[in-house]
Amino acid sequence: MSARTGVTHMFVPGPTNVPDRVRRAMNVPMEDHRAPDFPQLTLPLFEDLRKVYRNETGRVFMYPSSGTGAWEAAVSNTLNRGDRVLMSRFGQFSLLWVDMAQRLGLDVICVDREWGEGVPLEEYERILTEDPSIRGVFACHNETATGVTSDVAGVRRVMDAAGSDALLFVDAVSSLASLPFEQEAWGVDLAVSGSQKGLMLPAGLAVLGVSAKALEASKSATMERCYFSFADMLKTNDLGYFPYTPPTPLLHGMRCSLDMLFAEGLDNVFARHHRLAEGVRRGVDALGLSLCAVEPKWYSDTVSAIRTPDDVDGAEVCRIGYHRYRTSFGAGLSKVAGKVFRIGHLGDLNEVSCLAALASAEMSLADAGAKVDLGVGVAAAQEYYRNATAALEASRDGAGLVGTASVSPQ
């Protein structure tokens, strides 16, 4: 076991590293959440989260909860028991959402796919065309368990092609503020996320983007809800308050996190995540390993699930990484338990962060019995990052942006 010096490196795909600025912003004394000036903190948060979602005509709610709470809020406020819904299952988190829908009394049509694929657009279009009674269509934008990103805009296209008027539900927990997300343009009605991923906060806030159509549906939906009621949130949020005690330190952290994202510029944030992810993928390929995602079209820019050799236990790679090299990797879950380990590359990190992840992964793999050449993956990523960074600097020089921050459109 290594000496307890330095930090334990976090490369799980959530919770992600919390920037020092955000941690300091949360270090506040308790305050009166009914105070007359409390809305000065909260009302701008609601509006700025709409900008992150690119939600122009709907609302964004924040619940003291994990993202799972936002799953339940989305379903219970807009659907009725017995409603037929279309879902797909290709990883642990899409599996859990299917389980929740069934337990809440929905009539679920579930399309199973290989763990390593994403939402099957052609099958969705066929089912929607054949069954106009479907009231909800569900898609996991970024399946964290397998490192797979699906085409949400494509889901909307096939819904429109089939003439479906169903609500579109999207899990954006590990994609919001890291991957491009366009709630309004993509016609997403309920977009679920959480504070502990791209928003760079501790877990504890569920964030839910709601379209105008979904808000209207909530007025006639009959499923039971209390804590997650949209109506209760609307009455109090409009005034800058909550129907119950909010986690005020997290709200201060959210203010700081959003300021950081807007200062970098959301498009730059997305480009950075792609650049960092591609370096990790180059490193994995150089080591002779493959990703759980079965084709490049499914590759995620926030997490890479890396297949271990048949004779190497992915859980052992994680154990060695943690105990010997002070590094936390994501373990394989459910069907891919022991078959993969995961490197999360989202939130507050840079090129050298990802090189550290690859270096620790190489040592952990070798110690677990994998036949890998130490340094090969790191070298491949270094070469990619050097070239990508040089190209980025050249493009900024040409645009006269050196030394300036590109601010996201407000």
* pLDDT tens digits along 247-259: 999 999 999 999 9
User: What is the mean predicted confidence (pLDDT) over 373-400?
Assistant: 93
Element (H, E) at 61: strand 59-64
In terms of Cα–Cα distance, which of 144, 173, 131, 156 is closest to 211? 156
In percent, the amount of the chain with pLDDT more than 90 equals 94
Q: Distance between CA atoms of 7 and 10, rounded to whole angstroms? A: 9
In percent, the amount of the chain with pLDDT more than 70 equals 97
Q: What is the DSSP letter of 117?
A: B
Contact 306, 361 (CB under 8 A): yes
Confidence class of residue 4 from pLDDT cuts 50, 70 and 90?
confident
pLDDT surpassing 50 at residue 410 = no
User: What is the mean predicted confidence (pLDDT) over 136-159?
Assistant: 98
Output the DSSP codes for 158-206.
Answer: HHHHTT--PEEEEE-TTTTTTS---HHHHT-SEEEEETTSTT---S-EE
Q: Specify the pLDDT at position 398.
A: 80
CATH 3.90.1150.10, the chain: domain bounds: 9-16+264-399
| Residues with Cβ within 8 Å of residue 212, at least 6 apart in sequence | 57, 58
Q: Are strands 190-194 and 327-331 parallel, antiparallel or unpaired?
A: unpaired
Q: Specify the pLDDT at position 401.
A: 59
Confidence class of residue 395 from pLDDT cuts 50, 70 and 90?
confident
| Topology of the domain covering 9-16+264-399 | Aspartate Aminotransferase, domain 1 (3.90.1150)
* Helix boundaries (H) for 54-144: 67-78, 92-103, 121-130
In terms of Cα–Cα distance, which of 188, 164, 186 is closest to 85? 164
Q: Specify the pLDDT at position 5.
A: 85
CATH 3.40.640.10, the chain: domain bounds: 20-262
Q: Distance between CA atoms of 357 and 360, rounded to whole angstroms? A: 5
In terms of Cα–Cα distance, which of 348, 47, 9 is closest to 198? 348
pTM passes above 0.75:
yes
Mean pLDDT taken over the chain = 96
Q: Distance between CA atoms of 250 and 246, rounded to whole angstroms? A: 9
Q: Among 16-25, 90-99, 375-384, 393-402, which is the least confidently predicted range?
A: 393-402
| Topology of the domain covering 20-262 | Aspartate Aminotransferase; domain 2 (3.40.640)
Q: Specify the pLDDT at position 3.
A: 59
Confidence class of residue 105 from pLDDT cuts 50, 70 and 90?
very high
Q: Specify the pLDDT at position 406.
A: 39
Confidence class of residue 404 from pLDDT cuts 50, 70 and 90?
very low
* Helix boundaries (H) for 62-120: 67-78, 92-103
Segment 284-297, tens digit of pLDDT: 999 999 999 999 99
Contact 307, 285 (CB under 8 A): no
CA–CA distances in Å: residue 306 to residues 5, 104, 200: 28, 34, 24
pLDDT surpassing 80 at residue 15 = yes
**Residue 181 falls in which region: left (phi positive, over 0), alpha (psi -120 to 50) or beta:** beta
pLDDT surpassing 80 at residue 124 = yes
Q: How many CB atoms sit inside 10 A of residue 262's CB?
A: 19
Phi, psi of 53 (to 5 degrees): -75, -20
Segment 43-87, tens digit of pLDDT: 999 999 999 999 999 999 999 999 999 999 999 999 999 999 999
